Structure 1
Amino acid sequence: MAHFGIGVSTAVTAVPDTLKLAVQADRGGLDLITVSDHPYYPDRLDAYAELGVLLGKTERVSGLVSVTNLPTRPAAMLARTITSLSALTGGRIVLGMGVGGLWDDIARLGFTKLTPGQAVRAFEEGIRLVKLLGGGGDPVSFDGEFYQVTELVPAEETMPPVWTGSVGPKSLAVTGRVADGWMPGRAADWLSERYRTSRPVIDEAAVAAGRDPGEIATVYNFPGRITAEPLAQTRAEDGRWIGGSSAQWVEELTGAVLEHGAAGFVLFGPDRSTPDEVAAARWAGEIVPAVREAVAK
């Protein structure tokens, strides 16, 4: 069953519209609301504070930080945040994890700058540790290069699926070894060169780790216009999706699920903007139900 979501703003100035959009997504039957995580910008909301409020104002939709800036959120504390949100919302949470990219900004917050190699190793350790800290069981001791915990009792709450935003080959391999889902970077889709070269790295690493690659979902951040009338071309010359009418979106997304194994889509407006109320209504009311129906057939 594919997941359908919508990306909402983290701008402080957009709070009233963001709250409205989250409630609209929930009432419209969407599966996910997602927020980005850039805690070093003062004009942006803290991702988990925002998500907690959005989930508190909704009843069915799940929340995802796409993706958590791991270097600024130590893994054991992140695990507690996630299991707490899960307990508070009846499990309406997915854990998105990222290596961290804007290291000058991360350093300004007082966190140690890591080399690319260190960052990927910390990323893998972080995912492994987080997964140990949910679902009950014996106390956990973990003596890693970057994370150490001693006799830490896991939360009883089950840890939700972990989706990554891996981009480079080493972090893609981490996704194959330890994650449950992948959201391709730069809003790349199933027809992109990024997908064609990246997904095999995930699959090979999964097989090498004794895992079934088919169990690692690919969920796409998918920007575009939803137009009243069909467009003559739904993709640009470089192959990137532009958008089109609701019927054109339905055809595209149904094909992505049935022919390319897509496991979900998060709607953004053009250039990764926040969708407006009209686009959100067409997405939830026209496109998503039609894709669900077509896939079910």
Structure 2
Amino acid sequence: MELGLHIADFTWNGGPAALGPALARHAREAEAAGISRITVMDHFWQLGGDTGLGPFEHDMLEAYTTLGFLAAATERVRLHTLVTGVTYREPALVAKQISTLDVLSGGRAGLGIGAAWAADESAGLGFGFPATRERFERLEEAVRICLQMWSDSEEPFVGDHYRLERTLNVPQALQRPHPYLLIGGSGEKRTLRLVAQYADACNINASPESGHKLDVLRAHCDAVGRDYDEIEKTTMFGIDPDTTVADVVRTATAQRELGFTTAYVFARRIPEPGRIVDVVGAAAAALA
């Protein structure tokens, strides 16, 4: 089981003035500890509600600016969002951002994408937030646009929601045939079908339903003629100030037994980033 570091909380000791140096140090220490992936949320406010990550007003950094910063601070880790909301940016911009990040990071960029869900954030900042059906339609078209822009094709793209006259994208990503593509979410009818059709990886929150979700994904793969084993199965779970290395190993092991091969670990209410790396890095070494 491979562990990734998902940075979901930026409310750290020292406040915004210390955040840049602290984030760079956090990423370097994670890489040195053997963590092979670093991801960030694609949100503009903290999540609020019962997530345990704090209220909307807590610190949150814009995802793609942050990934560019992390690319400059690291050498080996894969970098992507977990996950980009399809309603936040035009798909062609996302494709360009990922290929740019891939070139500048030496081939380490990925795209994590989903149908978006944060209605409060979208309303607050003026992002469109159409009905669920339309968001999933847009998600599929966005994935198709990204794959087309990461190919040699410059042909137009005409969909129900997006129309591009020329899908030119230069320079292309270093990864071939295209950057790593993860579709996040556990919806059984739409999300996991899209994973089976298009994605290199899924991401499903660790829960009692996780194993069932993989069974659903396998059925979608059978339906579309996709090899289930080609898709990387990733999961995600959180740690708190009292979480031990043994706790992380136990949770990750349980998910591995269900069929997941990678787990992204995020921290809640831990204001000292070094403590996060101590726990996740030691667990990664134990699981390697």
Q: Give me the TM-score of the superposition, normalised by structure 1.
A: 0.79
**Letter of the 2:40 counterpart:** V
Determine the structure 2 residue equivalent to 1:72.
Answer: 88
**Letter of the 2:260 counterpart:** A
Structure 1 residues 251, 115: closer, same or farther in 2, change over 3 A? closer
Determine the structure 1 residue equivalent to 2:186.
Answer: 167
**Letter of the 2:128 counterpart:** T
Percent identical across equivalent pairs? 26
Tell me which of 144, 147, 158 is aligned to 1:131.
147
Tell me which of 73, 84, 87 is aligned to 2:100.
84
Structure 1 residues 162, 26: closer, same or farther in 2, change over 3 A? same
CA–CA separation in structure 1 for the residues paired with 2:64 and 2:197:
26
Q: Any stretches of 5+ residues in structure 2 without a counterpart? A: 47-56
Contact 1:218–1:264 (CA under 8 A) maintained in structure 2 = yes
The Cα RMSD (Å) is 2.6
**Alignment map for 1:153-164 (pairs within 5 Å):** 153-155=168-170, 156-157=172-173, 158=175, 159-164=178-183
Structure 1 residues 221, 15: closer, same or farther in 2, change over 3 A? farther
Determine the structure 2 residue equivalent to 1:24.
Answer: 29
Determine the structure 2 residue equivalent to 1:37.
Answer: 42
Q: Does 1:290 align with 2:271?
A: no
Worse-matched range after superposition: 112-121 or 195-204:
195-204
Tell me which of 183, 201, 210 is aligned to 1:181.
201
Aligned residues: 266
Shift of 1:133: 1.1
Q: Does 1:278 align with 2:283?
A: no
Determine the structure 1 residue equivalent to 2:3.
Answer: 4
CA–CA separation in structure 2 for the residues paired with 1:106 and 1:248:
35
CA–CA separation in structure 1 for the residues paired with 2:284 and 2:131:
41
CA–CA separation in structure 2 for the residues paired with 1:282 and 1:77:
36
With a CA cutoff of 8 Å and minimum separation of 6, indicate the structure with the bigger relative contact order.
2
Determine the structure 2 residue equivalent to 1:267.
Answer: 265
Contact 1:75–1:130 (CA under 8 A) maintained in structure 2 = yes
Determine the structure 1 residue equivalent to 2:52.
Answer: none
CA–CA separation in structure 1 for the residues paired with 2:211 and 2:283:
26
CA–CA separation in structure 2 for the residues paired with 1:197 and 1:61:
30
Shift of 1:111: 3.4
Shift of 1:110: 3.5
Which deviations, in whole Å up to 9, do the C-alpha atoms of 1:46-78 show, x marking residues without a partner? 110011101111111121211012211111110
CA–CA separation in structure 1 for the residues paired with 2:265 and 2:120:
30
Structure 1 residues 275, 32: closer, same or farther in 2, change over 3 A? farther
**Alignment map for 1:249-264 (pairs within 5 Å):** 249-250=248-249, 252-254=251-253, 256-257=255-256, 259-264=257-262
Shift of 1:89: 0.6
Shift of 1:247: 4.7
Structure 1 residues 104, 145: closer, same or farther in 2, change over 3 A? farther
Shift of 1:254: 4.4
Determine the structure 2 residue equivalent to 1:235.
Answer: none
Structure 1 residues 255, 109: closer, same or farther in 2, change over 3 A? closer
Determine the structure 1 residue equivalent to 2:225.
Answer: 210
Q: Any stretches of 5+ residues in structure 1 without a counterpart? A: 228-242, 293-297
Structure 1 residues 223, 108: closer, same or farther in 2, change over 3 A? closer
Tell me which of 174, 178, 199 is aligned to 2:214.
199
